[in-house]
A and B are shown apart, each in its own frame.
Chain A
Amino acid sequence: MKPIITDQQRQFRLKSAPEYSQASFAWIVSIALSLLLLLGGYRSETGDFSPVLLTLSGAYLVFALLQLAVWARIRLDLIRDGSIRGGTRVLGYGLMLSLLSGNVFIATAAFQLVRAKKNAAYTLAVYTLLTTLLVFAVSALNLYKPYVANSFLTGMALLLVAAVIQLGALLFLAKVADRSVLPRSTAIIAVILILTALTGNVFALLLGLLLIARLRDGGGSAGSKTGQVIDRLSRSSTSMLGLLFILFLFALSVTSYWTFDYSLAIENNYSAILQPPSLAYPLGTDNFGRDLFSRIVFGARISLIVGLLSTIIPVVIGGLLGALSGYYGRHTDNIIMRALDILYAIPGILLAIAIIAAFGASTVNLVIALSVGAIPTYARTMRANVMLVSTLEYVQAARAIGSSDWVILTKHVVPNSLAPMIVKSSLTIGTAVISTSSLSYLGLGVEPHIPEWGNILKLGSAYLETHAYTAIYPGIAIIALVLAFNFLGDGLRDAMDPKLD
Chain B
Amino acid sequence: MNKKGKFAALLLISLTMVLSGCKVTTKNEAAEAPANTSNTANTQQTETADDGSLVDIELLGMSSGEADLNIIRDQLTKNGFNVKLNIQADYGSFKSQQDAGNFDIALSSWTTVTGNPDYAVRSLFKTGGDYSILADSEIDKLIDTASTQTPEQYVDTYKQFEQQLVFDKAYIVPLYNSLKAQALNQDVLKQESVRLSKSRSLVWEDIDFKDESKRATDSLVLQSTMPTLTSLDPIKGNDGSINMINTNMYVRLLNLTDDDKLTADGSLSYNFAIDGSNSEYYFVLRDDINFAQIKDKKAVDTRQRVGAEDVIFSLNRAKDKNSVPDHRTFTLHEHIKTVEAVTDLAALESAKLASGETVKTALEAGLENKITGLTADKTKADHKSGNYQVIKLTTTEPFPQVLNYLAHQSAGIVSKKQVESINTYDVAKFDVNKDIPYGDQNTVTEGAQYNNTLFASGPYILSYKNDYEAIFYKNPGYLKGTDHEPKIENIKIRFIKDADSALAALRSGEIHVYYGVTETKFDVVKGDSKLSLQTMPSNGVSYLLFNTKNRPVAESADLRKAVLYSINQDEILAYYNGNKIKAVSTVSPLVQTGLELKSDPAKAKEFLAAYKAAK
Which residues does A use to contact B, with CB under 8 Å? 143, 146-150, 152-153, 156-157, 160-161, 164, 168, 261, 263, 267-271, 273, 287-288, 443, 447-449, 462-463, 465-466
Contact = CB atoms under 8 A, between A and B. Distances in A.
Given A268-B74, A271-B38, A152 B24 contact: yes
Interface stretch (B64-72, B228-236, B374-382): B64-72
Given A287-B575, A288-B71, A449-B73, A148 B27 contact: yes
Given A168-B4, A449-B85, 15 more contacts: A150-B26, A150-B27, A152-B24, A153-B22, A156-B19, A161-B15, A164-B15, A263-B42, A263-B45, A268-B74, A268-B571, A270-B41, A273-B577, A287-B67, A448-B85
Contacts of B19: 153, 156-157
B37 interface: yes
Contact of B24 (A148, A161, A164, A449): A148
A491 to B, nearest CB: 35
A449 B22 CA distance: 33
A263 B45 CA distance: 10
B345 interface: no
Given A267-B45, A270-B575, A273-B575, A146 B30 contact: yes
A443 B45 contact: no
B524 A449 contact: no
B89 interface: yes
Contact of A273 (B28, B570, B574): B574
A449 B89 contact: no
Contacts of A466: 523-524, 527
Given A147-B30, A462-B520, A288 B575 contact: yes
Closest 8 CB pairs of A and B: A147-B30, A270-B574, A270-B571, A268-B74, A147-B25, A150-B26, A466-B523, A147-B27
Contacts of B26: 147-150, 152-153
A379 to B, nearest CB: 33
A363 to B, nearest CB: 14
Contacts of A147: 25-27, 29-30, 37
A394 to B, nearest CB: 47
B333 interface: no
Most A-side CB within 10 Å, residue of B8, B26, B37: B26
B87 interface: yes
Interface string B564-585: 0000001100110100000000
B560 interface: no
B193 interface: no
Interface in B483-515: 500
A198 B29 CA distance: 28
A153 B69 CA distance: 35
A269 B575 contact: no
A156 B24 CA distance: 12
A220 B417 CA distance: 104
Interface residues of B, number: 43
A148 B25 contact: yes
Contact of A269 (B30, B41, B500, B524): B41
A270 B87 CA distance: 23
Nearest to A288: B70
A164 B11 contact: yes
B54 to A, nearest CB: 15
A448 B574 CA distance: 20
Nearest to A269: B39
Contacts of A153: 19, 22, 24, 26
Nearest to B522: A466
A68 B574 CA distance: 51
B78 interface: yes
A287 B520 contact: yes
Contacts of A271: 38-39, 574
Contacts of A288: 67, 70-71, 74, 575
Nearest to B84: A447
Interface of B: 4, 8, 11, 15, 19, 22, 24-30, 37-39, 41-42, 45, 63, 66-67, 69-71, 73-74, 77-78, 85, 87, 89, 500, 520-521, 523-524, 527, 570-571, 574-575, 577
A150 B28 contact: yes
A161 B19 CA distance: 12
Contacts of A149: 26-27
Contact of A146 (B37, B74, B527): B37
Most A-side CB within 10 Å, residue of B27, B29, B63: B27
Given A147-B25, A153-B19, A153-B24, A267 B30 contact: no
Most A-side CB within 10 Å, residue of B22, B29, B42: B42
Given A148-B25, A443-B63, A267 B87 contact: no
Given A148-B25, A288-B74, A463-B520, A157 B85 contact: no
A357 to B, nearest CB: 9
Contact of B87 (A146, A156, A263, A448): A448
B22 to A, nearest CB: 8
A63 B415 CA distance: 83
Nearest to B11: A164
B89 A443 contact: yes
Nearest to A167: B11
B566 to A, nearest CB: 13
A135 B28 CA distance: 24
B524 A267 contact: no
13 contacts: A146-B38, A150-B27, A150-B28, A153-B19, A153-B22, A263-B42, A268-B70, A268-B571, A270-B574, A273-B575, A443-B66, A448-B70, A462-B520
Nearest to A444: B89
B74 A449 contact: yes
A443 B67 CA distance: 13
Nearest to B40: A271
Nearest to B572: A270
Contacts of A287: 67, 520, 575
B27 A263 contact: yes
Nearest to A149: B27
B27 A443 contact: no
A176 to B, nearest CB: 14
Contact of A448 (B15, B66, B500, B524): B66
A52 B233 CA distance: 64
Contacts of B571: 268, 270
A273 B71 CA distance: 13
A443 B30 contact: no
B25 A268 contact: no
Nearest to B39: A269
Given A147-B37, A149-B27, A443-B87, A267 B78 contact: yes
Given A160-B15, A463-B520, A449 B70 contact: yes
Nearest to A160: B15
Nearest to A185: B1
A152 B11 CA distance: 20
A438 to B, nearest CB: 16
Nearest to B37: A146
B446 to A, nearest CB: 30
Nearest to A151: B26
Contacts of A465: 524, 527
B137 to A, nearest CB: 40
A427 B379 CA distance: 80
Nearest to A156: B19
Contacts of A267: 41-42, 45, 74, 77-78
Nearest to A172: B4
A449 B84 CA distance: 12
Most A-side CB within 10 Å, residue of B39, B73, B524, B574: B39
Nearest to B4: A168
B4 to A, nearest CB: 8
Contacts of A161: 15
A288 B89 CA distance: 22
Contacts of A449: 70, 73-74, 85
Given A268-B71, A271-B574, A448-B66, A146 B25 contact: yes
Contacts of B27: 147-150, 261, 263
B34 to A, nearest CB: 11
